[in-house]
Amino acid sequence: MLVMAQLLDGKALAATIRGEIAARVAGRTQAGKRPPGLAAVLVGNDPASQGYVRSKHKACLENGLHSTVHRLPEETTQSQLLDLIEQLNADATVHGILVQLPLPRHIETDAILRAVTPAKDVDCFHPENVGLLTIGFPRFYPCTPHGVVQLLNRYNVPVAGHEVVVVGRSDIVGKPLSIMLMQKPTAHNPAAGDATVTVAHSRTHDLAAVCRRADILIAAVGQAGMITADMVKPGAAVVDVGTNRVGNAWVGDVAPEVATVAGWLSPVPGGVGPMTITMLLYNTVAAAEQIDG
Ligand code: GUN
């Protein structure tokens, strides 16, 4: 008999956590405080980025947060973008600032991300916040890694002491997620995983053998279907962070037949994606609590 993996249903879990967030937001506004506010900045016309920003804006409004979207033309200069960020840094109605990546090539991404005041850096991309995360005193958790950890925890996937293999070493997912999963949990750092973590990447020798060690396999590469069933230990939890456009469909980094080997599997769409947006709302509320009390 073929047993299929249990679904790590990010859509359902995101709805639950958004309910918790909406209740916290309502409590704040009823107490006379400003609603937590997110300002998203989108430069250029990339269709995927436009879609992400629309989804983030909609999720804010549905849960009682204030949200503004600043759409700038492709030819915006770095200094114009820096001026907007300065304005948002000083705006008391804005608690979180999100600059959608990728930026056009004529703009230095590092310079822009460093201009966002760390207290409003809800993506956790500023070097100060990456440093705080790395030493175990996070101001914010980065959204996608935090979404992955929440998915594992709320579906009771055992993490502490287990073998995790993270495939991909990006600054947005692989690197911060591997740090979070290997850290010791403390009162300051409750999402830490206490796991044994291996980070694999494009230069890893015998990737399949490394992946087969994993009790928890995280695919965060951006290559459609690259994790195949022969790379998965039977019963392992497989989290698919990939969002790849193939024709008109979104597909993950994990091939569909992995569902017949894995013990748990997050789908694409409906897995990590809705969790990322949820943890962005979570960070925006946390920023409002830190800034306004
Ligand atoms: N582009 C792809 N992922 C992300 C993300 O998590 N945050 C931002 N700002 N841009 C992205």
- For the chain, give the longest Cα–Cα distance: 62
Atom nearest to 49 CA in ligand 1: 1
Q: What is the whole-number distance in angstroms between the Cα of residue 214 and the centre of ligand 1? A: 27
Q: What is the CATH number of domain 141-273?
A: 3.40.50.720
Q: What is the whole-number distance in angstroms between the Cα of residue 100 and the centre of ligand 1? A: 5
- Residues identified as active-site: 56, 100, 123
- H helices then E strands: how many in the chain? 9, 11
Going by C-beta distance under 8 Å and a sequence separation of 6 or more, which residues neighbour residue 95? 36, 37, 38, 120, 122, 284, 287, 288, 291, 292
Residues of the chain with CATH 3.40.50.10860: 34-117
Convert the pLDDT of each residue in 85-133 to its tens digit: 999 999 999 999 999 999 999 999 999 999 999 999 999 999 999 999 9
- With a 6 Å cutoff on the Cβ, whether 183 touches ligand 1 is no
Residues of the chain with CATH 3.40.50.720: 141-273
pLDDT number for residue 1: 62
For residue 20, report the phi and psi dihedrals to the nearest 5 degrees.
-65, -40
Question: In this structure, which topology does domain 34-117 adopt according to CATH?
Answer: Rossmann fold (3.40.50)
First to last CA, the chain: 56
pLDDT number for residue 244: 96
> Which residues, given as ranges, of the chain have pLDDT below 70?
1
Hunting for tokens 């440093």 — which residue is that? 131
pLDDT number for residue 2: 72
Q: What is the whole-number distance in angstroms between the Cα of residue 139 and the centre of ligand 1? A: 18
Task: Please state the pTM of the whole predicted model.
Answer: 0.97
